[in-house]
Structure 1
């Protein structure tokens, strides 16, 4: 396994919810040469001077291999759709091996996708788990030529409280002072901001030996639905209208829809995996080694993130 620095970085999915902050963090690091991978039909615009490599919408292994040549690291910041409906994540792995890439950060960014609790509840976690298992296998077969780092960051609460980006993913509507509490509302989950996740990716690539072949767990803090609503009410000086719901029947219905091929059930299932009384191992501070300190990430608090959400709601 080479200890040489990772300088040439290519990112796929650079305009997405997690991809955009990752791209910003990579561009802010002067030691990186950053390239964006995009499909030929994309109309996305990127900062001036950033090289862009285009491939067809088919994203074939041969095209990806050619795009990855000369790159030290590939960052996959793909949405859940290619993971649930396509094998693009696997083709990226094969292309990274074929191109001689040194480090691959797969499109994980959520829970521990190797945890059977998460995989049994949310199908996309099981599919991502299979992807990570495949990546680990291919890396071993490369005899150290390819290394990997998976990043599990829990919930992006800043994203989840921004309706324009997430559609009130966590069932909290800041602007209209409304929230849905599922079950007890006490299910605890790790939170990392989207900006913090982007910075963590840059830090991982700046520390290749430390992070090689590791699952990196991030957590600015751990919280639950009731704590989020309480922070909002305290800072806004207003009570929220709270609706209490039970998740059991809803989760079973969503699983049935997904199993029948309705991929629109994916995001509601993901949301409920955070806020319902289900155990998918989201309390990283209790169950995992948290890497925030090792990576030198700035500290964030629940009240700080909520304050940002309130300011956003008041400005729109």
Structure 2
């Protein structure tokens, strides 16, 4: 591990995935980090030039420990359906004495009791943070990003907008604002965070990882409503509101319908439940307002909403969901 005041060696689980690939790219671009992709032996993932790879067997935690020895930080990106893997990674990181862990957060605010109570997939996240502290070997930094903007907008069931069919379902009046991030912004946030000095340097006492030890970091691209997203889609498709079929649905009723569908084994019910909950008119989806963001400290750029919407429309065309 590095004896300097900076993180040098970063291991990433999911380095070839949706958000992980952007993290990998951004970390490499800093020129400050050696990046190691932690993969299964049977994985066919491709990585950029310069990425080291170490293969592991999740049924044999010792292989994960060996892969993590000497790493300064572990970044975990996993599917919401990858049950049990994160606990093994957390234990292995402790056994390998990895000092910093960015757990599988990348979500709306899981420090919000209402969201954690109502979205079952979020309930593991506070428990993982607690487990890291209990093990006492690693410190965590949980990066809260909101849902991924372009990915979510490309799924009509998620943000309620179908740019190809020119249809939109507004939850309540469609004016509740939520914090959301693009994949490139998530990548830049991780690279910016792990490029901070461990301890303060110079007069700026805030620009260090120590400030965020065992805490949550909030970053975003936009804090927008469904109406904002719809207006962006209108601009990108060259249409007017009269060209679209617009319906409205109670957010609470939509959440309840998703819950019932999920109980019946319908995964789409889970998507409906999870996404609708952040649009409740309780402010739970707007962490920029309630918690603030670290965008300025991490020197994250202001992004163009229409450019992100354009990416979402292309994703929908290519049926990435």
Please report the TM-score for the alignment, with normalisation by the length of structure 2: 0.84
Q: 1:270 aligns with which of 254, 258, 274?
A: 274
Q: Is the 8 A contact 1:16 1:79 kept in 2?
A: no
More helix by share: 1
Deviations 1:193-236 (A, max 9, x none): 11011110011111134234131101232111111102222454
| Change beyond 3 A, Cα 1:159–1:315 | closer
Measured on the aligned residues, the alpha-carbon RMSD in Å equals 2.6
Structure 1 residues not aligned, in runs of 5+: none
Partner of 1:26: 27
Kept in 1: contact 2:151–2:315 (CA 8 A): no
The equivalent residue for 1:173 is 162
1:158 to 142, 150, 164: 150
2:185 aligned partner? 196
Instruction: Choose the corresponding residue for 1:251, options 252, 255, 260.
Output: 255
- CA shift digits 1:9-28 (9 cap, x unpaired): 11001222211211111222
Which consecutive residues of structure 2, in runs of 5 or more, have no partner in the other structure?
Answer: 200-207
Map 1:1-316 → 2, pairs under 5 A? 4-56=5-57, 58-82=58-82, 86-138=83-135, 141-142=136-137, 146-161=138-153, 163=154, 166=155, 169-207=158-196, 208-209=198-199, 210-211=208-209, 212-213=212-213, 214-239=215-240, 240-256=244-260, 258=262, 265-274=269-278, 276-279=279-282, 281-309=284-312
Q: Distance in 1 between matches of 2:308 and 2:94?
A: 39
CA contact (8 A) 1:117 1:280 kept: no
Whether the aligned pair in 1 keeps the contact of 2:13 and 2:75 (CA below 8 Å) is: yes
Counterpart CA distance in 2 for 1:67 and 1:314 is 39
Aligned residue for 2:202? none
CA contact (8 A) 1:22 1:198 kept: yes
